[in-house]
């Protein structure tokens, strides 16, 4: 992205200030914020949707001048795949490349409006980002670490439950900051790290799974040593 007028901040955000009707009573001040990381995610998500839309288009029986089959109508009305479709005069469904290009131009961007003339554009952008992070923390507390519902009744147990949830959220944030990735993506990688147990006549052998590339990258980013291959090997007992 090489659009003119943007300033890159230390955290990687790019901002651009726009004032409409400057000097008049109807003046409005906006700050356009471009987040390159979010832009990449928006692009990848749209590309996945377009690939699936193309696959579904290829499976349709579209003949010029004939009525649509139900599956064609359903595809056009689909809230996800129908958004990138257009219909020709003959009734054929095609990808709306113009709309795709317009949407791509907005990847990773959001608009902030403010009536405070004393704040710099950087302060406006960073303040909004901090607000977004606070809202995200509240969502994660509710849905990721399950601070609610609370099934405890004693005061000390309720306090311990909230403290453990807060520590879990803190650990998630540390991991995200160090790996520069989201907890949702990291969980998918870390699911591959498991420990299995095998019961023998001498006891239980505990062995970890083979490290995948994803798990290794997470551990390397956190500067953590991988777990031992064998966590517990019982000593053979005399017959």
User: Is residue 236 scored above 80 in pLDDT?
Assistant: no
**pLDDT tens digits for 185-199?**
899 899 999 999 999
Q: What percent of the chain has pLDDT over 70?
A: 94
- Long-range contacts of range 58-64, CB-CB < 8 Å, 24 or more positions apart? 60/93, 62/91, 62/92, 62/93, 64/90, 64/91, 64/92
Confidence of residue 158 (pLDDT cuts 50, 70, 90): very high
pLDDT at 147: 87
User: Is residue 172 scored above 60 in pLDDT?
Assistant: yes
List Cα–Cα distances, 230 to 111, 190, 197, 209, 216, in angstroms.
53, 18, 10, 9, 17
User: Is residue 67 scored above 60 in pLDDT?
Assistant: no
Nearest Cα to 28, choosing from 109, 117, 106? 117
pLDDT at 2: 62
**pLDDT tens digits for 20-50?**
988 888 888 999 999 998 899 899 999 999 9
pTM greater than 0.75: no
């Amino acid at each position: 992205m090489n659009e003119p007028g943007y300033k890159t901040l230390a955290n990687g955000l790019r901002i651009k200030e726009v004032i409409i009707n400057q000097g008049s009573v109807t003046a409005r001040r906006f700050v356009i914020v471009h987040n390159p990381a979010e832009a990449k995610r928006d692009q990848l998500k749209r590309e996945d949707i377009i690939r699936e839309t193309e696959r579904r288009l290829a499976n349709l029986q579209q003949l010029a001048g004939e009525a649509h089959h139900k599956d064609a109508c359903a595809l056009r009305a689909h809230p996800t795949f129908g958004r990138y479709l257009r219909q020709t005069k003959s009734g054929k469904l095609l990808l709306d490349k113009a709309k795709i290009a317009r949407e791509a131009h907005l990847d990773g961007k959001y608009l902030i409006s403010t009536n405070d003339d004393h704040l710099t554009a950087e302060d406006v952008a960073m303040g909004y980002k901090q607000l977004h992070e606070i809202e995200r923390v509240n969502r994660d507390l509710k849905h990721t670490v399950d601070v609610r519902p609370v099934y405890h009744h004693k005061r000390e147990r309720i306090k311990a439950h909230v403290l453990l949830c807060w520590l879990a959220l803190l650990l998630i944030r540390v991991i995200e900051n160090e790996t520069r990735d989201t907890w949702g993506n990291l969980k998918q990688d870390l699911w591959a790290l498991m420990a299995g147990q095998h019961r023998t006549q001498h006891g239980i052998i505990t062995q970890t799974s083979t490290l995948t590339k994803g798990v290794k990258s997470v551990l390397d980013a956190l500067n953590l040593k991988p777990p031992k291959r064998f966590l517990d090997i019982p000593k053979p007992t005399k017959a």
